[in-house]
């Protein structure tokens, strides 16, 4: 943990508990909460971004890509395990998984 998250003395706190920096949730490692792990299977993924929409920790990173027809679109790049807390919502909501034939997000136990 950086010094930024050292517990501060009362003299160091801003007035009234105000939070002066935006987006500081990005610094918070929720990956340590994980006991189950989603594994993204690029070969089965249709890049519908349902997992990206549902992920509560914004763990799905995106990249620029093209549709099979050649149009611009966003595609999944990877799961960022610094944030992924292993809730499994991605695997549960994945439309590829729902069809039941193959999995675009596999949900497995963390190794012990």
Are 79 and 98 contacting, i.e. CB atoms less than 8 angstroms apart?
no
Distance, C-alpha 88 to centroid of its chain: 11
Sole binder of another protein in the list 2, 6, 10, 109 (CB under 8 A): 10
> Closest CB to another protein among 2 and 20?
20
Sole binder of another protein in the list 1, 3, 7, 69 (CB under 8 A): 7
Shortest distance (Å) from residue 1 CB to another protein: 13
Shortest distance (Å) from residue 25 CB to another protein: 11
Q: Which of 102, 87, 96 is nearest to 38 (CA)?
A: 87
DSSP 101: S
> Closest CB to another protein among 25 and 46?
25
- What residues pair up with 79 in beta bridges, in sequence order? 60
Q: Which of 84, 112, 107, 87 is nearest to 97 (CA)?
A: 107
Contact between 32 and another protein by CB under 8 A: the answer reads: no
Contact between 6 and another protein by CB under 8 A: the answer reads: no
Contact between 68 and another protein by CB under 8 A: the answer reads: no
Contact between 16 and another protein by CB under 8 A: the answer reads: yes
Distance, C-alpha 26 to centroid of its chain: 11
Tokens of 15: 């007035």
Residues binding another protein (CB under 8 A): 7-11, 13-20, 22
């Amino acid at each position: 943990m950086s010094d930024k998250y050292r517990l501060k003395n009362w003299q160091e706190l801003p007035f009234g508990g105000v939070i002066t920096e935006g987006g500081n949730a990005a610094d918070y490692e929720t990956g340590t909460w994980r006991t189950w792990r989603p594994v993204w299977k690029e070969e089965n993924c249709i890049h519908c971004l349902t997992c990206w929409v549902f992920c509560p920790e914004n763990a799905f990173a995106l990249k620029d890509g093209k549709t099979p027809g050649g149009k611009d679109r966003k595609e999944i790049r990877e799961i960022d395990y610094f944030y992924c807390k292993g809730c499994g919502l991605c695997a549960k909501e994945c439309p590829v998984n729902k069809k039941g034939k193959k999995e675009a997000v596999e949900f497995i136990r963390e190794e012990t």
